[in-house]
């Protein structure tokens, strides 16, 4: 499916797109977060889009920030093109471009040439009380009205049944994509994690905070053997697979947030067969 689309230009006033936040928001936005989709989910009642492999970025009308709330240092021309209202989206360089995106958006001094390859792919209007289906239509019109090729709305579509959803997931993954997002069409916007927003991928992923480096043995003597990772519930576990030689020589620092893939949970609720994926790009 096409990833991004533009709609005809419409009046922002007619769409109810008056700014929700003041020009100088004092606190970072609290994002809407996804749960894992249950097996065999019926997509009826949801709008489906590709899950982009980029860096989450929230615009409050004046500042661009990572999900953590830390400012993103973008070129002035980039932020000057954004409207005086809240946006939620992904800074994205295309499929397989996660590492390059992170390298670009985390620089303390922005590389102008690198930023000109970045897209701000929008998927929601934080704080807007309308159902998601209406927000998605308004967001597409807003993105089109900005007339900026690097600001685009993520395409949303309806799928008739679980078989169609499975085919869509397979097509996206085969093309190098990460998975799909399902957003309940009638759901209002609300911060935090809920079943109104689901992620569907061919694996399960989670994240935690690095609390210790465990030394390696044998072939890995003298470098990282495993990370001790603390989960959101406060428990920790040993994450010892999935690292490249370069990552073992220079591991994610203590205090950083990392993502890992796993195959379900053990009887005591810890990740089973966990494998390191990457350092989060929005720290």
- Residue 273, pLDDT above cutoff 70: yes
Output the pLDDT for position 1: 43
On whether both 133 and 256 belong to a single domain, the answer is no
Chain-centre distance of CA 41, in angstroms? 21
Distance in angstroms (rounded) separating the CA atoms of residues 212 and 198: 31
SS3 28: coil
- Residue 83, pLDDT above cutoff 90: yes
SS3 139: helix
Which single residue is written with the structure tokens 């406060």? 234
Output the pLDDT for position 58: 96
* Domain at 212, CATH number: 2.40.50.140
Domain-ending residue, one of 200, 234, 249: 200
Residue 18 binned pLDDT confidence (cut-offs 50, 70, 90): very low
Residue 282 binned pLDDT confidence (cut-offs 50, 70, 90): low
Percent of the chain clearing pLDDT 90 (strictly above):
72
Among 32, 51, 59, 126, the active-site one is 51
On whether both 150 and 54 belong to a single domain, the answer is yes
Average pLDDT of the chain, as a whole number: 88
Residue 200 and residue 182 in contact, taking contact as beta carbons nearer than 8 Å: yes
Distance in angstroms (rounded) separating the CA atoms of residues 5 and 121: 10
Q: What is the mean pLDDT of residues 25-49?
A: 86
Output the pLDDT for position 264: 74
Answer yes or no: is 270 within a domain: yes
Residue 181 and residue 198 in contact, taking contact as beta carbons nearer than 8 Å: yes
Catalytic, 201? Answer no
Both tokens of 264, joined, read 């379900």
Residue 1 and residue 50 in contact, taking contact as beta carbons nearer than 8 Å: yes
Dump pLDDT digits (tens) for 128-164. 999 999 999 999 999 999 999 999 999 999 999 999 9
For 281, half-sphere exposure in the C-beta direction (CA atoms, 13 angstrom radius) is 21
Answer yes or no: is 267 within a domain: yes
- Residue 28, pLDDT above cutoff 80: no
SS3 76: helix
Q: What is the mean pLDDT of residues 214-240?
A: 93
On whether both 214 and 172 belong to a single domain, the answer is no
Residue 116 and residue 108 in contact, taking contact as beta carbons nearer than 8 Å: no
| Torsions phi, psi for 70 (to 5 deg) | -70, 140
Considering only residues 96 and 263, tell me which one the structure prediction assigns the higher pLDDT: 96
Q: What is the mean pLDDT of residues 184-212?
A: 93
Chain-centre distance of CA 100, in angstroms? 15
In order of 127, 166, 199, the CA distances from 240 in angstroms are 40, 32, 26
- Residue 281, pLDDT above cutoff 70: no
Residue 254 and residue 212 in contact, taking contact as beta carbons nearer than 8 Å: yes
On whether both 194 and 224 belong to a single domain, the answer is no
On whether both 163 and 274 belong to a single domain, the answer is no
Name 256's Cβ contacts closer than 8 Å, sequence gap at least 6: 209, 210, 279, 280, 283
Q: What is the mean pLDDT of residues 223-227?
A: 95
Answer yes or no: is 70 within a domain: yes
Dump pLDDT digits (tens) for 105-135. 999 999 999 999 999 999 999 999 999 999 9
Domain-ending residue, one of 167, 200, 233: 200
Total domains in the chain come to 2
Q: What is the pTM of this model?
A: 0.72
Residue 27 binned pLDDT confidence (cut-offs 50, 70, 90): low
Residue 11 binned pLDDT confidence (cut-offs 50, 70, 90): very low
Range of the domain at 256: 204-279
- Residue 7, pLDDT above cutoff 50: no
Q: What is the mean pLDDT of residues 172-198?
A: 94
């Amino acid at each position: 499916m096409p990833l991004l689309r533009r709609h005809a230009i419409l009046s922002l006033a007619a769409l109810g797109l008056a700014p929700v936040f003041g020009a100088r928001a004092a606190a970072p936005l609290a994002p809407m977060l996804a749960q894992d989709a249950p097996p065999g989910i019926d997509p009826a009642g949801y709008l489906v889009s590709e899950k982009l492999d980029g860096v989450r970025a929230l615009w409050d009308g004046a500042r661009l920030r990572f999900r953590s709330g830390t400012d993103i240092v973008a070129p002035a021309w980039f932020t000057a093109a954004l409207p005086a209202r809240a946006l939620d989206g992904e800074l994205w360089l295309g499929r397989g471009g996660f590492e390059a995106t992170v390298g670009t958006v985390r620089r303390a001094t922005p590389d102008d040439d690198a930023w000109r390859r970045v897209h701000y792919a929008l998927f929601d209007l934080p704080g807007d009380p309308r159902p998601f289906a209406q927000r998605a239509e308004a967001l597409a019109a807003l993105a089109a009205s900005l007339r900026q090729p690097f600001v685009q709305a993520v395409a949303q579509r309806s799928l008739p049944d679980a078989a169609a959803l499975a085919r869509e997931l397979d097509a996206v993954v085969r093309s190098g994509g990460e998975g799909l997002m399902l957003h309940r069409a009638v759901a209002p916007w609300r911060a935090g994690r809920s079943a109104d927003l689901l992620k569907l991928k061919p694996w399960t992923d989670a994240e935690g905070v690095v609390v210790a480096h465990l030394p390696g043995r044998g072939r890995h003597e003298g470098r990282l053997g495993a990370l001790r990772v603390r989960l959101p519930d406060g428990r920790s576990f040993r994450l010892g697979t999935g690292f490249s030689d370069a990552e073992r020589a220079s591991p994610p620092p203590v205090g950083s947030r990392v993502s890992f893939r796993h195959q379900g949970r053990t009887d005591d609720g810890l990740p089973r067969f966990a494998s390191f994926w990457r350092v989060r790009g929005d720290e």
